[in-house]
């Protein structure tokens, strides 16, 4: 089976800045792939290119066998931007009901995704009255509506406490077992060990594409932070 996401020589400029330089990556299907790297390394831009929201200068991005941004993909991808893109003057349920209608997901999905992100008590609260971490989860819930084959999640665990973070990573693993492909970005290197595979991004180039264990072995380190620092040092040398 072909990859969930495949990019070849992807280049993106923003203003005078080269955000992505000749990036070629591959994300296998049915796995949780972590997209790691310091802020400013191009993670969000890569994700926007994958969902078809980013104008690209050169290269190709193929998503689920189709060119990124193809209309047929709009029902098959769940996307969470870094800023919680939900309406703060609607309740949790009203937000999700609207997004469910837009992607033609069954109305019963709303209840399911609210439970999946653990927001049942907040169902009828205005999003604007929720905490930052809760708002992030409303945004994540919107991406889980319908049955997306690919989830592109930009820092979904920012601002969450350890218990919730663990629960969400367990949810990601469950989804992957059901055959969903996930690309999850994070700048917390510690989250690397929760992934099946890691893409390490630095200055718009790919530093590593490895399993978490493989990364530690090739760098001769014992934690993700050290592994990352070693790779940067090697790239500079």
Partner 1 sequence: MNPRLTLATSARVLTQVRHDPRTVVLLLAVPSLLIGLMAWIFTDTPLFDTIGPALLGLFPFIIMFLITSITTLRERRSGTLERLMTMPLGKFDFIVGYTLAFGLLAILQSLIAVGFAVWVCGLTVSGNAWLLILVAVVNAILGTTLGLFASAFATSEFQVIQFMPALVFPQILLGGIFVPRDKMPDVLHSISDWLPLSHSIEALQKVSQASDASGDVLREVGVVALWAVAFVVLGSITLRRKTE
Query: Smallest gap, in angstroms, from Cβ of residue 22 to partner 1?
Result: 19
The residue from 38, 53, 106, 132 that contacts partner 1 (CB under 8 A) is: 53
- For residues 161-220, which are near partner 1 according to CB under 8 A? none
Number of residues that bind partner 1 (CB under 8 A): 32
Give the Cα separation of 215 and 224 in Å (integer).
Answer: 8
Question: Could you say whether residue 77 binds partner 1 (CB under 8 A)?
Answer: yes
Our finding on whether 67 is near partner 1 (CB under 8 A) is no
Query: Tokens 């790779």 sit at which residue?
Result: 231
Cβ–Cβ < 8 Å for 193, 212: yes
89 binds partner 1 (CB under 8 A): yes
**Residue 50 CB, nearest approach to partner 1 (Å):** 10
Q: Could you tell me which stretch among 1-9, 77-85, 187-195, 205-213 binds partner 1 (CB under 8 A)?
A: 77-85
Question: Minimal CA–CA distance to 95: which of 81, 113, 75, 116?
Answer: 113
Exposure string of 69-95, with b = 16+ CB inside 10 Å and e = fewer, is beeebeebbbbbbbebbbeeebbbbbb
> Considering the rule CB under 8 A, would residue 51 count as an interface residue with partner 1?
yes
133 binds partner 1 (CB under 8 A): no
- φ and ψ of 136, to 5 deg: -55, -40
Taking CB under 8 A as the binding criterion, the range among 82-90, 169-177, 197-205, 212-220 that sits at the site for partner 1 is: 82-90
Residue 52's nearest CA partner among 71, 33, 27 is 71
CA distance 103 to 146: 7
Closer to partner 1 by Cβ: residue 74 or 166: 74
Instruction: Give least dist CB 43 to partner 1, A.
Output: 16
When asked if residue 123 is in the footprint of partner 1 (CB under 8 A), the reply is no
DSSP 158-190: TT--HHHHHHHHHHHHHHHHTT-EEEEEES-GG
Residue ranges in 92-111 that form contacts with partner 1 under rule CB under 8 A: 94, 98-99, 101-104
As a whole number of angstroms, the distance between CA 96 and CA 56 comes to 31
> Is residue 74 a contact residue for partner 1 (CB under 8 A)?
yes
Residues that bind partner 1 (CB under 8 A): 14-15, 48, 51-55, 69, 71, 74-75, 77, 79, 81-87, 89-90, 94, 98-99, 101-104, 126, 142
């Amino acid at each position: 089976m072909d990859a969930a996401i495949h990019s070849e020589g992807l280049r993106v400029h923003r203003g005078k800045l080269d955000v992505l330089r000749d990036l070629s990556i591959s994300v296998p299907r049915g796995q949780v792939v972590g997209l790691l790297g310091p802020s400013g390394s191009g993670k969000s831009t890569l994700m926007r290119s994958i969902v078809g929201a980013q104008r690209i200068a050169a290269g190709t991005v193929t998503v689920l066998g189709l060119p990124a941004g193809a209309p047929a993909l709009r029902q098959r991808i769940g996307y969470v931007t870094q800023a919680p893109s939900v309406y703060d003057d609607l309740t949790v349920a009203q937000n999700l009901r609207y997004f469910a209608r837009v992607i033609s997901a069954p109305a019963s999905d709303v209840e399911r995704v609210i439970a999946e992100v653990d927001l049942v008590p907040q169902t009828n609260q205005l999003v604007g009255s929720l905490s930052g971490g809760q708002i992030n989860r409303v945004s994540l819930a919107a991406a889980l509506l319908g049955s997306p084959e690919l989830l592109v999640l930009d820092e979904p665990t920012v601002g969450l406490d350890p218990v919730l973070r663990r629960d969400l990573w367990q949810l990601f693993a469950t989804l992957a077992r059901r055959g969903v492909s996930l690309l999850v970005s994070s700048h917390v290197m510690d989250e690397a060990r929760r992934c099946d595979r890691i893409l390490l991004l630095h200055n718009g180039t790919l530093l590593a594409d490895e399993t978490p264990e493989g990364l530690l072995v090739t760098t001769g380190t014992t934690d993700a932070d050290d592994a990352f620092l070693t790779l940067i040092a090697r790239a500079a040398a």
